[in-house]
């Protein structure tokens, strides 16, 4: 099982913005059916990038300030951060190759 951490406003800076490796952030909510569809894909990508990139999840219901700060208007939204900056933004259910490609580009 991949190490996909749940982060919130108190841990976001340390886990994402200060990370020395790229981070894929999955903005989601438990009631969101498409979010449930993309979850296993995100887990698989996390396993494939273990040690090279980090994958975290942000529950938009529990961290609305983060969703607002990053302009999340639809979920799932998947953002790739590198050096504290958003370098890729994907909205909706994405196939595994698209997520892998976005992370590869940030390496």
| CATH number (domain holding residue 56) | 3.40.30.10
For the stretch 37-96, pLDDT in tens is 999 999 999 999 999 999 999 999 999 999 999 999 999 999 999 999 999 999 999 999
Give the residue among 2, 34, 8, 16 at the shortest CA–CA distance from 81.
16
Residue 1: is its pLDDT beyond 60? no
| Alpha carbon distance 12, 15 (integer Å) | 5
Which residue numbers are catalytic?
A: 32, 35
Q: How far apart are CA 12 and CA 33, in angstroms?
A: 24
Q: Does residue 12 sit in helix, strand or coil?
A: helix
The pLDDT, as a whole number, for residue 15 is 96
Q: Which domain holds residue 46?
A: 5-106
Spatial neighbors of 62 by CB under 8 A, at least 6 apart, are 8
Q: Are 29 and 84 in contact (CB under 8 A)?
A: no
Per the structure, the count of domains in the chain is 1
**What pLDDT band is residue 2 in, cutting at 50, 70 and 90?**
low
Do the beta carbons of residue 58 and residue 67 sit within 8 Å? yes
Q: What is the pLDDT of residue 3?
A: 80
The position carrying tokens 């940030």 is 106
pLDDT of residue 14: 96
């Amino acid at each position: 099982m991949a190490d996909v951490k749940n982060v919130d406003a108190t841990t976001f800076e340390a886990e994402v913005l200060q990370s020395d490796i790229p981070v894929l952030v999955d903005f989601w909510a438990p009631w969101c059916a498409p979010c449930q569809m993309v979850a296993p894909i995100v887990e698989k990508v996390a396993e494939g990038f273990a040690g090279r990139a980090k994958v975290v999840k942000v529950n938009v219901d529990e961290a609305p300030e983060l969703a607002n700060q990053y302009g999340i208007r639809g979920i799932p939204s998947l953002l790739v951060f590198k050096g504290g900056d958003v370098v890729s933004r994907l909205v909706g259910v994405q196939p595994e190759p698209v997520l892998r490609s976005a992370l590869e580009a940030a390496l």
